[in-house]
Structure 1
């Protein structure tokens, strides 16, 4: 067995889940598992076959649901892109880092990420696709006003190999220049990419991810990779063969449905490669989305194609992207680990992207960071059927459009807008996932208790935001949530 090293970090942080020797024994194999995180961009809860969509063809994702775990209450944490990505890598709410919105700030170098933990434990680390956690060049950026100040590429955040764009790109012919607002070059380890950028963007990404995996397997080295698709974020564009699959629908629908099917094909390609390489049974594969679907309603006909993203479905949830109601943050999610995770499970336990880092730490036998607050908890006991509930609450905060706060504790969710005259709201998510029946008057004491928990957590985040978690100097960024 490969000798396991540990990331030693002194101190103590709140909301930490300790490493469990029992769980380690349960997942023990000849070597630590490979880990792959697949992330769609703006994919709604109702946009996949495994969540009930009858139109969009997602056979490979549906197969994953049959062969592993389908999460019905998995939360992106952020209602928009960059915040979720920051939390996915760190296990910490993005408010602690100052990354409250998109195109603002960068992933602080002081953060301990999935890549840092895995690299310290002998893993090859790779990132492929959208980044959105800082600029990729010190001299040019499609969105950031000061590229040098916000420079934070994945190859300087503990990734051995990285092909990335700073922001979203068209989902077909990503370098064509057809959508000027979304001209975001691909960079590979610091060098601008000009080759093999034609056709489906999900294929462009997977063409680089698979060689990274092949190289790690050939070197007999475990690997961790984040594969972050641009699909189905606008500009939503599908190629001719995918448009033809949906020719009975409007042009915008054809593009939206088609690009999702194209992404699904690349996920199937990845799974076939893992099997061919003989590592599928020692690889845990995660799938999720960074937030709910883009805005609602049907666009005017002349804008139909460009605004195809508006056809995304949030299932029966309230709200969409930018909202902390379920439609904005409860996303399609799966986990597959052949031979270790039981097939065909549907998991209703609340969980989130904050849980990725604690889970990986436990899977590979590494201590969690102990000098800073971690907001997630390890899902290993739940994945292996050793536990049926989580021990920590799931916190939410956002300044998108207006200040919003929420907290999930067990089956209940508290929602509040501090700067608004709108009263607090309390929902029982198991009985009312659509958040239609406000129970605040029936359970005032529960709501008060949850609000007290939320207040304590916000103050903890404020200390983090001010740089109190880091021993070295920290350049504060963003604006902290205003709470009256």
Structure 2
């Protein structure tokens, strides 16, 4: 499960004094809390690609939001699990390609951009209830008031222009009013119910739109934040509404005896929107530097939770850095298989050795690139460059997570070592972009 533009400091379990997230808090009390969990990008589309491939999106051309598409040559988590008999479903925001070639839809969909057509049903997902990009968090098919943010030149009250697609040429037309997270979960639950009835294991990728702009919610959730500003009522009310649906899913799994052996992850695709906490961009980094679109910590350090009661018996926290890149190798490791035609290299690592108590630090550094920014991080140190590596800053992330003190002049040897590793990683990504990683002819 993934939120959209939810900051490191937004869930209550992370110390937010305003936010009400009782179900995320329960996940945090029962499972693993990743204190250093990273989106692979400071914007949405690239991070989503990393989640389902284990590979950095610069390897296959998804450089930024609304750029590129999921290549058919990549193996997604859905495609991998289908080889083991899993039924697969995608629910919510896709953002890895357009969903129609026929009509104008969302940011890029339609006859003018057929090259980026790459819907979830062509990437291994059996069941879909998917949008190309963002929708309002309440009444998602209708343009909200401009105070919700992100409305731009749309006219309030008229169709928003982004559909929920269920397959080629098929759009959802019913049960599209009210809270968007509930609308999504209304499709997730029947998918799981059908999998249970068919005695099939399942993969459900649930990518909420909350709390991406336009963000607003209903009176029930706003009233939970009485005394706060209207903007806070809507922003955190939408998050609480999403949290409620996460609880609904957890309860359904428990009622049907599936909870103990279901692996659940929760994260966000990047840090919070906006230059500051103002208007509807109320997301919190909890003091971390930067926000969405930045490779400083506030743009990429995001909430990270994992539950799996069969193996994770009680709450556990870790300061080891993990990433959205790690989902794919972790799931395949849990199931004990590899894909024979797997594009390589995979940038992520399996979390399973950590879960079993066999590692105490990350063995593979994490690389980042977004427009002119690059960064590279090991267990302690992080280099950051705003100009594609012409100049570097160095931070001790363990002792200075807020990145207040650049220590590059004190430790030129560390900068030299990490920048050399970063250079090799970037060259590897460039080779991947030229289709060098694929073992099959497509």
Same fold, TM exceeding 0.5? yes
Q: 1:142 aligns with which of 63, 86, 106?
A: 106
Q: Structure 1's 298 and 320: CA in aligned 2 closer, same or farther, altered over 3 A?
A: closer
Separation of aligned partners in 1, 2:226 and 2:400: 36
Q: Does the CA contact (< 8 Å) of 1:214 and 1:277 recur in 2?
A: no
Shift of 1:298: 5.2
Q: Which moved more, 1:136-145 or 1:314-323?
A: 136-145
Shift of 1:105: 1.7
Q: Which residue of 2 aligns with 1:10?
A: none
Matches within 5 A, 1:71-150: 71-139=34-102, 140-144=104-108, 146-150=112-116
Does residue 254 (structure 1) correspond to residue 233 (structure 2)? The answer is yes
Separation of aligned partners in 2, 1:298 and 1:351: 27
Does residue 165 (structure 1) correspond to residue 131 (structure 2)? The answer is yes
Shift of 1:176: 2.0
Residue-by-residue CA offset, 1:228-268 (whole Å, 9 max, x unaligned): 00000000011111111113112111110100000000000
Separation of aligned partners in 2, 1:177 and 1:417: 36
Does residue 64 (structure 1) correspond to residue 36 (structure 2)? The answer is no
Matches within 5 A, 1:209-224: 209-224=188-203
Matches within 5 A, 1:207-356: 207-297=186-276, 299=278, 304=279, 308=280, 310-356=281-327
Q: Which residue of 2 aligns with 1:187?
A: 165
Q: 2:382 aligns with which of 400, 405, 413?
A: 413
Q: Does the CA contact (< 8 Å) of 2:342 and 2:439 recur in 1?
A: no
Separation of aligned partners in 1, 2:387 and 2:55: 22
Separation of aligned partners in 2, 1:333 and 1:437: 26
Q: Does the CA contact (< 8 Å) of 2:74 and 2:343 recur in 1?
A: no
Q: 1:450 aligns with which of 418, 431, 439?
A: 418
Count of residues in correspondence between the two structures: 425
Shift of 1:175: 1.1
Separation of aligned partners in 2, 1:193 and 1:114: 25
Residue-by-residue CA offset, 1:369-422 (whole Å, 9 max, x unaligned): 6442110111101122222112111110111xxx0111111211111133587x
Q: Does the CA contact (< 8 Å) of 2:98 and 2:108 recur in 1?
A: yes
Does residue 462 (structure 1) correspond to residue 427 (structure 2)? The answer is no
Q: Does the CA contact (< 8 Å) of 1:164 and 1:188 recur in 2?
A: yes
Q: Which moved more, 1:133-142 or 1:113-122?
A: 133-142
Separation of aligned partners in 2, 1:387 and 1:298: 38
Separation of aligned partners in 2, 1:294 and 1:411: 27
Matches within 5 A, 1:356-371: 356-368=327-339, 370-371=342-343
Q: Does the CA contact (< 8 Å) of 1:104 and 1:144 recur in 2?
A: no
Q: Does the CA contact (< 8 Å) of 1:292 and 1:328 recur in 2?
A: yes
Q: 2:370 aligns with which of 368, 382, 398?
A: 398
Shift of 1:366: 1.3
Q: Does the CA contact (< 8 Å) of 1:117 and 1:366 recur in 2?
A: no
Residue-by-residue CA offset, 1:1-30 (whole Å, 9 max, x unaligned): xxxxxxxxxxxxxxxxxxxxxxxxxxxxxx
Q: Which residue of 1 aligns with 2:402?
A: 434
Does residue 152 (structure 1) correspond to residue 87 (structure 2)? The answer is no
Q: Does the CA contact (< 8 Å) of 1:121 and 1:366 recur in 2?
A: no
Separation of aligned partners in 2, 1:208 and 1:201: 11
Residue-by-residue CA offset, 1:136-194 (whole Å, 9 max, x unaligned): 11123321173422111111111010100111100001112435385311111231111
Q: Does the CA contact (< 8 Å) of 1:90 and 1:112 recur in 2?
A: yes
Q: Does the CA contact (< 8 Å) of 1:141 and 1:147 recur in 2?
A: no
Structure 2 gap segments, 5+ residues each: 145-150
Q: Structure 1's 382 and 56: CA in aligned 2 closer, same or farther, altered over 3 A?
A: same
Separation of aligned partners in 2, 1:371 and 1:261: 39
How much is the aligned-residue C-alpha RMSD, in angstroms? 1.6
Separation of aligned partners in 2, 1:253 and 1:296: 16
Q: Structure 1's 348 and 325: CA in aligned 2 closer, same or farther, altered over 3 A?
A: same
Structure 1 gap segments, 5+ residues each: 1-37, 475-484
Q: Does the CA contact (< 8 Å) of 1:92 and 1:374 recur in 2?
A: yes
Separation of aligned partners in 2, 1:136 and 1:69: 35
Separation of aligned partners in 2, 1:386 and 1:473: 38
Separation of aligned partners in 2, 1:337 and 1:134: 31
